[in-house]
Structure 1
């Protein structure tokens, strides 16, 4: 950020205003300019500031009547601080009422201005009889401040509105300085470490014309803080000619010479502290010039810069010395304000604390298209106007030389953003962009010489399954290239829909068909969020081989104007789908209701989720290598350059390949999700007729014995346990009750040759397989389930572990003991 600081008399009150208000206040007041003068200065018609009093609105000087032609008589007082009024009669004669028919001393004037002295510092002003020259024009009273200064400080005028329609207030109209010059800094700059940093201009003004006495030598020495150094000095003589520190005149033209010369001269000028004398007729090194540079004592020496000169003739108006600061910031310099102390000789006044720069660790500004508020749907490649998803942003130096030539700036997006292509602005070179075209979320740019502003246009797509609901800022992290890491908002990503699932009245029961499932509301986040001709799908996340499925449903539009067609289940009941016939112009809500679900006996117990997916919300994914939605509209033209993004069959003779040559590969590697939303949907549990109250006790079983102990009671099996693959195998029918599982909860499916146990978890084992499914998750049992003497045997240890039952094995007695419930 650039600031304007005027350091005059080290007072930060240059334009301070104290404004008491009256009930009838109706004017805007100001001073034409605020000069700096000495304490003997007398203002007259050649240089006096004007106090300007203007109507806030037409008619305010006519008691608020905007249609009134005649100005009401205004009587008010002017009081001075640190000055005295002079030439009272001339003040009255030279006061003008702008916008009126006439003015005092001008033929045809019909108004009068009277100024009467109350004291040396107070007068009464009466303005009356003026009419507006044109209806609707505002009136403004301009009063010359013919005054004599008193002492160092601010000279102020205060309006005491009395019973007028004016606004009262106090206004500074002059600065009274002690000395012959004043100094201030214009445009304080932000700088970073390194050579040739541009700091603010230091301006040394004569207090009055000729303050720097003719025939005398004057010197200004400017001292920087430790570890800051001045760059070489060049004093502007005239045109393209400059005087260097050795007193030699050098010509540095920047036009009309070969480009290489222009470049070299601009480099020299950009790396030098340029000093200009303004107001004097000419500058040189001899007594013939108005300003004679004394080269022997004009130099830069580390933190000191000295300008030594003789004034041979006075300027036509107040003279100024302007120092265009260029400094070297060394490694050990302290961050913060960089202030200069001015030490004068001759008529140059001393002044300290001239802040010329703010030393910062970095300096770069970021600006995104539409101030980072441009919105994009996740899962999309194009907007509703069929324009590609792209956004432009600019990164610009705010501190000179922040960008380091040859270094890379890295741009990193969230991991749910995938960059498809990047184009640089005309000022940047596309060839220096490094983009791994495989759906990555970052790119880099190699900085070229003399670059201070970079603009990029990024084509991208966002994963439909981005980890947020509603909206989320797309942040871009920028680092490297000489600037400190920053993170900025590039744009806004949003989900196309929200999902609301109704309350589940009853848990779905295993082994039951056509059960009622909760209704679902799908609401667009804005009009057109569901894409026309696309298919909206509500998809069960897991069906475990179709053991749970949707048997039927109804859908209707309950809000908005979207139009639907062709709704049905798909994939053997894996989900519900409806096609969008006409997209909405008013955000719409779809209600899926009367949903029926089938749950087979093999379905695991637990929670089931539903995903929102389909080409109505997703167009940037692949399905077994084929692009989905409008992703297949992409085209890639030969030569390794992506010249066209939309399919165009009218490009006769153009050699282009199919999407699978380029963008398809990007999207395939991006690992996009096929959904934009996932919601908890239904709970599935053990059917009532399988649930019994069974108390678990300690159980002991021995290899080769058909008897086993349940607590203190001896029980008998018709087939004895045996060891297979180092696993104790037991008949499921006998062990179930011993381990706290109801006999009814052990279900045999002869066709599938599976046994399913419904307990706290659903476990399923297939004859001949070592794999047991626990709530649908496969687990290795260590031995395959098998049938012996028409009984199904399973490894009891893994079975017990799945149920969370503790057990111990006595190898000597070949006995396993399952411990009672605590």
Structure 2
């Protein structure tokens, strides 16, 4: 019985042992193994031995069972690996229930394949990530496309698979610049031009003489004194560290980059070289080099910079609109820019000059870029006393070619200035030119009808004048619009002033008429740009007025701000810098006070029946001249209270009054000529002209039985001009 049982137990043990041998490692049913790579580098065929670096393989295992896990990793047969073995490492593993970190090794290393072993003891590990760094390889010259590592499972959980660990492709080198350069006749010292060579794979810059070549155009040669060739990856100077690189071709147009037989991976290289310039042959403008060599390089041409002469360009960066008769108006920016460094002659003067009719109001310190020291503008920079010109002297500073930009410039503009405002830039510093910075426009547009009028006739109707504001508030509230007629043309009566468009208001009750001058006060300025008509204009035109246009000057502080004696002193006193003397100044442009002018009549021929008259009388002499003919009076002229007195009859003769139209009733003298009747009475300062009374400053009188008249007043009534020569005591009349 016992033997039978013993036999049965022995058989059971045998079966268990056999089953144990036949059963696989204890691996969870859900365990999975995946292969991938960290990178897929590009490698160049025919690279030197053990130089090409392939990608790193990753092995991910969800749950790694206890036991030994083995696989064979194979590279393509013609890829020769370096003697340095691959490296298998544990990047991550989670230990469960006292599990240990997997032990990893590589073994059986051959020319292009090796075995990897992963051993897990005690308990399984989860979330396992292994990295496999492949050895450097020599890539066969005919290799092209994907480089595949094949994984063959030998046991355990390292199953079969494959990973693309690189790509075989012809090496490519991209050429670029750190920055373009500016060349002068002085050339450029090394390492001023920085050229970058970027490899797409190790050894893309071939390890041969003439690997990369750069050819300059005619007139330029390479200068390698002080040149550099740096591996950007680590800062190594390849011209001094063996195996050295060489830069051949100094003094010639072609620079040859000869690479030594170094063993380094994919890199970026930077060459620092110089250029010599032959100014007799080099052409101004862009300078491009031709790129060639035994390496595959692109682009084939590279613009490295430009060859420029020393010079300074001046330009206006904007053109503003300004209004005539306004102060402190902004004009466009002015820029002075060096073509290359040190184009300006530092320490020498630059002047900025405005045209006549404009003055500087404000010049802030200019904006400076590049190698020019800061510039301040003050009273010391003023040239002359007319406010048109300033000067300054730029100084050198570090920073390369420089630019001076004047911004926020302000000027005062005369009321009669119109058109382009150009600033003249001159001096000995090298900045010369003329720039358009603004256009001046009149504040109003004036038009008028032009009827024909005659001399020697009173109350003739002239054309209606129309004034159009350029913008709202052009006419200033509380100020005066002043219209002035030509010499010896007088406003006979108040015209009609009408605002036909807009909301401008005039104080019509305060209109003043004084001979040639008509003053119209502005009651309220406009919110909407307005149009004004001045109609029913009547003139008295003396015979001294020549034939031709009757031009009305339009002025007044309602339009002319720069000559407003109430505003100008405060404005000038508030300025930080005065560019012209301001002591006692109440008007900026006192001789330029006409904002606009308009012709509203044309003087034609004299009134019918009239002829030109000229006469002269000498005080104390009985002889006189009339139209060039000498005649004799029976009494002599005399001066009393500053007035010349002449006998009434000879006054009439001088004025061309017919004898029968010179009337005397014993007290009152009446002179009639054409449509004009003038009456004066002895002892009365009232003169009646066509029924209108004019007050005289002296009265006619009787002397030695003769009626003596104040000649200037009577002549004026008939439109004649009278002149007095004190040296010869002669009074002259022209009619």
Instruction: Tell me which interval the TM-score lies in, with the shorter structure as reference length.
Output: 0.5 to 0.7
User: 1:430 is matched with which residue?
Assistant: 376
Residue 475 (structure 2) aligns with: 530
Aligned to 1:334: 283
Deviation at residue 341 of structure 1 after TM alignment: 4.1
1:577 to 505, 519, 529: 519
Contact 1:230 / 1:301 at 8 angstroms: preserved in 2? yes
Q: How do 1:78-89 residues align onto structure 2 when only pairs under 5 Å count?
A: none
Paired residues, number: 486
Q: How far apart are residue 436 of structure 1 and its match?
A: 1.7
How far has the Cα of 1:335 moved from its partner?
Answer: 2.4
CA distance in 1, matches of 2:269, 2:606: 97
Q: Is the 8 A contact 1:192 1:400 kept in 2?
A: no
Query: What corresponds to 2:344 in structure 1?
Result: 403
Output one character per residue of 1:654-685: Cα deviation in whole Å (capped at 9) or x when no partner. Answer: xxxxx9953766965x6651012122232234
Q: Give the Å deviation of 1:559.
A: 0.8
Is structure 2 residue 460 aligned with structure 1 residue 543? no
**Counterparts of residues 61-140 of structure 1 (less than 5 Å):** none
Partners of 2:195 and 2:203 in 1: how far apart?
Answer: 20
- C-alpha displacement at 1:537, in angstroms? 1.6
TM-score normalised over the length of structure 2: 0.53
1:497 aligns with 2:444: yes
Match 2:396 to one of 426, 433, 449: 449
From 372, 384, 388, the counterpart of 2:318: 372
Distance in 2 between residues matched to 1:689 and 1:179, nearest whole Å: 107
SS of the counterpart of 1:529? Answer: coil
The equivalent position to 2:236 in structure 1, one of 265, 282, 287, is 282
- 2:608 partner SS: helix
1:417-438 CA deviation, whole Å, 9 max, x = no partner?
2223422236422169833262
In 2, distance between residues paired with 1:576 and 1:521?
A: 15
Partners of 2:276 and 2:215 in 1: how far apart?
11
Report how far residue 617 of structure 1 moved: 1.5
Give the superposition deviation at 1:584.
2.0
The answer to which of 437-446 and 592-601 deviates more is 437-446
Is 1:211 the counterpart of 2:204? The answer is: yes
| 3-state SS, counterpart of residue 609 of structure 1 | strand
Cα pair distance change 1:690/1:219, threshold 3 Å? farther
Q: Report how far residue 362 of structure 1 moved.
A: 6.2
Are 1:632 and 2:576 matched, yes or no?
no
Q: How does 1:352-751 map to 2 (within 5 A)?
A: 354-361=302-309, 372-382=318-328, 389=330, 392-397=333-338, 399-425=340-366, 427=368, 428-430=374-376, 434-436=381-383, 438-450=385-397, 452-457=402-407, 458-468=409-419, 472=420, 474-479=421-426, 485-504=432-451, 507-540=452-485, 542-544=486-488, 548-566=490-508, 570=512, 572-621=514-563, 628=565, 630-636=567-573, 643=576, 662=582, 673-690=592-609, 751=710
Q: CA deviation at 1:605?
A: 3.8
1:132-174 deviations in Å (ceiling 9; x for gaps) = xxxxxxxxxxxxxxxxxxxxxxxxxxxxxxxxxxxxxxxxxxx
Residues 517/418 of structure 1: CA separation in 2 closer, same or farther (3 Å cut): same
Change (3 A) 1:304 1:598: same
CA gap of 1:434–1:752, structure 2 versus 1, over 3 A, is same
Return the alpha-carbon distance in structure 1 between the equivalents of residues 527 and 447 of structure 2: 22
State the shift of 1:229 in Å.
5.9
Deviation (angstroms), 1:590: 1.2
Name the SS for the 1:338 alignment partner: strand
5+ residue gaps, structure 1: 1-35, 41-45, 47-176, 234-243, 246-273, 383-387, 622-626, 646-658, 694-716, 721-731, 737-743, 757-761, 771-782, 800-822
Task: Please report the TM-score for the alignment, with normalisation by the length of structure 1.
Answer: 0.48
Give the superposition deviation at 1:615: 1.0
C-alpha contact (below 8 Å) 2:494/2:537 kept by paired residues? yes
Q: 1:526·1:587 contact (CA, 8 Å) conserved in 2? A: yes
Provide the rounded CA distance (Å) in 2 between the counterparts of 1:220 and 1:315.
Answer: 18
DSSP 3-state at the match of 1:634 = helix
Unaligned segments of structure 2, at least 5 residues:
1-41, 47-54, 56-168, 369-373, 613-628, 633-651, 657-672, 679-708
Q: For residue 689 of structure 1, report the CA deviation from its aligned partner.
A: 2.9
